[in-house]
Amino acid sequence: MINGINRFIPDNLKPFKTNNSYLDMKRTLINKKEKQFETVFLNNIESAFDYFNIKSNQCLSFHHHLRNGDNVLQQVSEVVKRRDLRNMHFAPSSIFPSYTNLADLILNGNVTDIHTNYLNGKVAEVIGQGYLKGKLIMNTHGGRARAIESGDLKIDVAFLACPTVDKFGNGTGAFGPSACGTLGYAISDLEYAKKVILVTDNLVDKLDEYQFDGAYVDAVIVVDSIGNSEGIVSGTTKLTKDPIGLKIAKDCANVINQLGLIKNNFSMQTGAGKISLAVVKYIQDIMNQKNITGSFASGGITKSYVDMLNKGLFKELYDVQCFDLDAVKSYHLNKNHKAMSASKYGNPFEKNPICNRLSFVILGATEIDLDFNVNVTTDSWGNIIGGSGGHADVAHGADVTVIISPLFKSRIPIIKDKVITVTTPGNDIDILVTERGIAVNPERKDILKTLENSGLPIYTIKELYNLAHSITGIPAKIKHSDEIIGYVEYRDGTYIDCIYKVI
Amino acid sequence: MFRSLLFIPSNNPSMIQNADIFSADGIIFDLEDSVDISEKDNARNLLMNYLNEGTNYPSLIVLRINPVETEFFLNDLELLKTQKINYVLLPKADIESLKILDRHLSTYEEKYKLDKIKVIVLTETTNSIIEIDQIAKHKRVEGILLGAEDLCNELEINRTNEGNEILFARSKVIYACTANNIIAIDTPNTSIDNEELLKKDCLNAKNLGMKAKSAIHPNQLEIINDIFSPSKDEIDWAIKVIKEKEKNLSKGAFSVDGKMIDKPLLMKADKIINKAKLYHLI
């Protein structure tokens, strides 16, 4: 069948209708888990498989707060391989290039189904080549929380890396040898998984403050190392020095300023891309010039935002995951640097989630089409290189959503007739800022009117599309096979697009 | 009139492709020092294709050719056929090389029915500083760009942040240009990561009398443009002066904010207004 944005979806799946359809749906909540026994302490991951009788056909979940430094999913994968468990369903909140053991499990047929929000590296390659025998579902951060609380995603055992755990099973990421800061993506797993196992390398007597409540924790495993917290620093968290990127960032900050969005008590979020971080710097300059104090910044938090909090430019930070070690330290020491769960961040059924309170959000795109639909899941050839993360959540929630991107990357224009994969529907995208001009979604007549006499280079998206083609020529259309290798699930649980095997 | 000229190596396709989006008032497409000798042909071909086939160009294009005594000089001039070049930048210039260039340009103008080709001279030798009065008087010359790096190499002295070592050369360029009503363009600052240093360097050059500055990185342009533009206070003053003049048409002198305004200050106000309009500041 064809869904609400003209994408093919198999008949047995619930099709996406509109970005607001969730308003007509009822929130479904399964019961939160009730622990039957005292928390047990185990010596290794292998023994947890025996203790909880983890067997084939079960669903194991993980979070990705240690990002590319995580070693828990790797260790669990080794046990699954050793025991040759079959038809396993893995549900990590994201998958990074260091998760190489999972790729082997897919190739061997041990893991056949995956739920995740973001996918990169070797696992993406093997799935892209069609080796995953079951289903790949890529949902949003808020959508994952919704899927877990509603029982759409049933988790048998959650293996949750936890930098410090006490003898009551309470856990925190704020400190410890592998500190990673907030643990927001794992809260739904903690509350709804049938069994919850914290994996730590730092056991203490008692925690006064914790994010993981021991009331939900069945077992604690103490290992030598849960990972390398330096691996949480992503290469994409550094500010650009590229003059094109800086021009886009400056124009973006200018648009935001001209829309009057930088005013006292405003709130904002940006991605962790290099250009986004430059936007933060320019917005900070404007705030300083106009003596503005913002209400909060949210999202994955970087040093830039920590500095702004410390300078009093924001009153609070709402942090679902720390993107660098400065953010980890700040979360530990600064009471105004607050943790939020993925549900509180972007679950459409949450009452007043943080994403709905944003004045504006700045996001990236690998492609955007003439209907403003955005792809951050696949590249221009259809290879899986990412995923929504919180993209579709905040794009929907924020008052103004801005996409920033060079008009073409190398020789590939980013504006397409139709994006290869829809991650975020065009109705939720308001403005595209490129180095050669700015396009406003014609649905946002209010924005168009405000920017009418701004002196900014405003074009239609079709004009920018033509401008790009006048420079690069018209690229050949990319063909993909008809074989579906995965699905993009919108935040409300409907299916917005399919991911196809690359030819 | 311009404030900033950005050097772009002509063998760098991505920089050429984006030349029109940087905030430089003009782009210097370089065929000389930033292009390795083995790349000269490729750079020239790339630039020729861009100038012939491109769709978006900078508002002002300067071509830095190779010196007249090199084997590349005449081939470089072939780019004039594109009719997209506003100025030729002559490197290692002295009065003799300027005359040679002038003769060739005259031939090109006749052969290809071109408008008069304007020249900016790059003074980067001690000889060019000595001959600068003659150079500045030449009919083709519309600007002089100081090249401090080569000059200091010849003098066997080091560049400093303060720039005292080039004060004499800067002053010679400024006086020669001002006396001949052409534009004095300051040497680029080679420190691309130090904004404070660039600001000080720009302010120093501006206060001496430079009217524009060259840049070697796009990230330098914002500071250069800002400092070589009239300030808000200057613009406000100039607007006030022009308004008062309109009220006092018959008077040779009048006062603004308690200070006497006569012909030189009126001319200064006019220049500020013209620049402010040109750079979209009013």
A149 — contact with chain B (CB < 8 Å)? no
A467 interaction partners in chain B (CB closer than 8 Å): 56
B21 — contact with chain A (CB < 8 Å)? yes
CB neighbour list of residue A328: distance below 8 Å, 6 or more residues apart: A173, A174, A179, A180, A181, A229, A232, A322
Across the interface, whether the CB atoms of B21 and A241 are under 8 A apart is answered: no
Order of strands across the sheet that contains A480-489: A40-42, A219-222, A195-200, A157-161, A59-62, A88-92, A111-116, A136-138, A480-489, A495-502
B57 — contact with chain A (CB < 8 Å)? no
B53 — contact with chain A (CB < 8 Å)? no
| Shortest Cα distance, chain A CAs vs residue B218, angstroms | 6
Q: What is the DSSP string of A197-252?
A: EEEES-EES--SS-SB-GGG--EEEE-S-SB-GGGGS-GGGS----HHHHHHHHHH
Across the interface, whether the CB atoms of A247 and B22 are under 8 A apart is answered: yes
Q: Is A337 in a helix, a strand, or coil?
A: strand
Q: Is A499 in a helix, a strand, or coil?
A: strand
Q: Name the packing angle between helices B232-247 and B263-278 (round to 10°).
A: 120
Residues paired with residue A59 on neighbouring β-strands, in sequence order: A89
> What's residue A503's pLDDT?
83
Across the interface, whether the CB atoms of B23 and A471 are under 8 A apart is answered: no
| Shortest Cα distance, chain A CAs vs residue B133, angstroms | 38
Contact indicator for B120, B144 with CB cutoff of 8 Å: yes
Kindly report, residue by residue over A341-385, the tens digit of the pLDDT: 999 999 999 999 999 999 999 999 999 999 999 999 999 889 999
Give phi and psi for A270, each to the nearest 5.
-135, 160
Token pair in block for residue B193: 């990561």
Kindly report, residue by residue over A276-303, the tens digit of the pLDDT: 889 999 999 999 999 999 999 998 899 9
Across the interface, whether the CB atoms of B22 and A246 are under 8 A apart is answered: no
pLDDT (tens digit, 0 to 9) for every residue of chain A, 503 residues total?
999 999 999 999 999 999 999 999 999 999 998 887 899 999 999 999 999 999 999 999 999 999 999 999 999 999 999 999 999 999 999 999 999 999 999 999 999 999 999 999 999 999 999 999 999 999 999 999 999 999 999 999 999 999 999 999 999 999 999 999 999 999 999 999 999 999 999 999 999 999 999 999 999 999 999 998 777 775 555 678 889 999 999 999 999 999 999 999 999 999 878 898 899 999 999 999 999 999 999 988 999 999 999 999 999 999 999 999 999 999 999 999 999 999 999 999 999 999 999 999 999 999 999 999 999 999 988 999 999 999 999 999 999 999 999 999 877 899 999 999 999 999 999 999 999 999 999 999 999 999 999 989 999 999 999 999 998 888 888 888 899 999 999 999 999 999 999 88
B22 interaction partners in chain A (CB closer than 8 Å): 243, 247
Structure letter (DSSP) for residue A478: P
Task: Work out the percent of chain B whose per-residue pLDDT is above 90.
Answer: 85
| Residue extents of the structural domains in chain B | 4-227, 232-278
> What's residue A133's pLDDT?
97
A436 — contact with chain B (CB < 8 Å)? yes
Contact indicator for A221, A42 with CB cutoff of 8 Å: yes
Long-range contacts of A305-314 (CB under 8 A, 24+ apart): A305/A280, A306/A330, A306/A334, A306/A337, A308/A280, A308/A284, A309/A334, A309/A336, A309/A337, A310/A334, A313/A284, A313/A287, A313/A288
For chains A and B, what is the number of CB pairs under 8 angstroms? 26
Q: Is A402 in a helix, a strand, or coil?
A: strand
Separation CA A432–CA A437 (nearest Å)? 8
Across the interface, whether the CB atoms of A435 and B18 are under 8 A apart is answered: yes
Which comes out higher in pLDDT, residue B247 or A282? A282
Site from B18, B27, B216 to mutate, A interface, most A CB atoms within 10 angstroms: B18
CB neighbour list of residue A15: distance below 8 Å, 6 or more residues apart: A1, A2, A3, A4, A9, A494, A495
Contact indicator for A376, A423 with CB cutoff of 8 Å: yes
> What's residue A234's pLDDT?
59
Q: What angle is formed at CA B19 by the lines to CA B17 and CA B21, rounded to 5 degrees?
A: 105
Tell me: pLDDT of B145 over 90: yes
A435 — contact with chain B (CB < 8 Å)? yes
Site from B6, B21, B232 to mutate, A interface, most A CB atoms within 10 angstroms: B21
Of B54, B56, B219, the CB nearest to A243: B219
Give phi and psi for A35, each to the nearest 5.
-70, 130
Please give the mean pLDDT across all residues of chain B: 94
A281 — contact with chain B (CB < 8 Å)? no
Of B18, B55, B217, the CB nearest to A244: B18
In chain A the domains, ranked by start, together with CATH numbers, are 31-226 (3.40.1080.10), 235-481 (3.40.1080.10)
Site from A247, A411, A453, A474 to mutate, B interface, most B CB atoms within 10 angstroms: A247
Site from A239, A240, A241, A244 to mutate, B interface, most B CB atoms within 10 angstroms: A244
Separation CA B197–CA B192 (nearest Å)? 9
Q: Name the packing angle between helices A303-310 and A274-290 (round to 10°).
A: 10
Kindly state which CATH superfamily the domain B4-227 is placed in. Phosphoenolpyruvate-binding domains (3.20.20.60)
- Chain A residue closest in CA terms to B217: A243
B54 interaction partners in chain A (CB closer than 8 Å): 471
Binding-face residues of B in 149-188 toward A, CB within 8 A: none
A411 — contact with chain B (CB < 8 Å)? no
Long-range contacts of B95-101 (CB under 8 A, 24+ apart): B95/B131, B95/B134, B95/B135, B95/B138, B97/B67, B97/B68, B97/B69, B98/B135, B98/B138, B98/B140, B98/B141, B100/B68, B101/B68, B101/B140
> What's residue A10's pLDDT?
97
Binding-face residues of A in 36-95 toward B, CB within 8 A: none
Q: How far is CA A208 from the centre of its chain?
A: 30
Across the interface, whether the CB atoms of B218 and A243 are under 8 A apart is answered: yes
> What's residue B54's pLDDT?
87
> What's residue B202's pLDDT?
97
Token pair in block for residue B80: 């004039």
Kindly report, residue by residue over B42-59, the tens digit of the pLDDT: 999 999 999 999 888 999
| Shortest Cα distance, chain B CAs vs residue A243, angstroms | 6
| Shortest Cα distance, chain A CAs vs residue B259, angstroms | 32
- By C-alpha distance, which of B209, B167, B213, B206 is closest to B190? B213
Token pair in block for residue B169: 């050369």
B126 — contact with chain A (CB < 8 Å)? no
B55 — contact with chain A (CB < 8 Å)? yes
- Lowest average pLDDT, out of A48-62, B20-34, B235-249, goes to B235-249
Label residue B100 exposed, middle or buried (CB < 10 Å: 0-12, 13-18, 19+): middle
Binding-face residues of A in 208-247 toward B, CB within 8 A: 241, 243-244, 246-247
A241 interaction partners in chain B (CB closer than 8 Å): 219
Separation CA A365–CA A388 (nearest Å)? 10
Across the interface, whether the CB atoms of B217 and A243 are under 8 A apart is answered: yes
Of B18, B55, B280, the CB nearest to A470: B55
A35 — contact with chain B (CB < 8 Å)? no
Order of strands across the sheet that contains A314-322: A337-339, A314-322, A294-301, A267-270, A360-363, A400-404, A431-434, A437-440, A458-459
Q: To which H or E segment does residue A89 belong? A: strand A88-92
C-alpha separations of B208 from A395, B168, B173, B177, B227 in Å: 52, 11, 10, 13, 13
B218 — contact with chain A (CB < 8 Å)? yes
Token pair in block for residue B27: 């782009």
> What's residue B249's pLDDT?
77
A455 interaction partners in chain B (CB closer than 8 Å): 280
Of B17, B219, B280, the CB nearest to A471: B17
Q: To which H or E segment does residue A331 belong? A: helix A325-333
Separation CA A64–CA A231 (nearest Å)? 11
- By C-alpha distance, which of A323, A119, A359 is closest to A232? A323
Across the interface, whether the CB atoms of A470 and B21 are under 8 A apart is answered: no
Q: End-to-end alpha-carbon separation of chain B, Å?
A: 16
Across the interface, whether the CB atoms of B21 and A246 are under 8 A apart is answered: no
Q: Name the packing angle between helices A243-258 and A274-290 (round to 10°).
A: 40
A435 interaction partners in chain B (CB closer than 8 Å): 18, 21
- Answer positive or negative: Cα dihedral of B178, B181, B187, B192: positive
Which comes out higher in pLDDT, residue B14 or A441? A441
> What's residue A338's pLDDT?
97
B17 interaction partners in chain A (CB closer than 8 Å): 471
Token pair in block for residue A150: 């509603």
Count CB neighbours of A96 within 10 A.
Answer: 25
Contact indicator for A92, A64 with CB cutoff of 8 Å: yes
* Residue position matching structure tokens 């959508």: A143
pLDDT band at residue B191 under the 50/70/90 scheme: confident
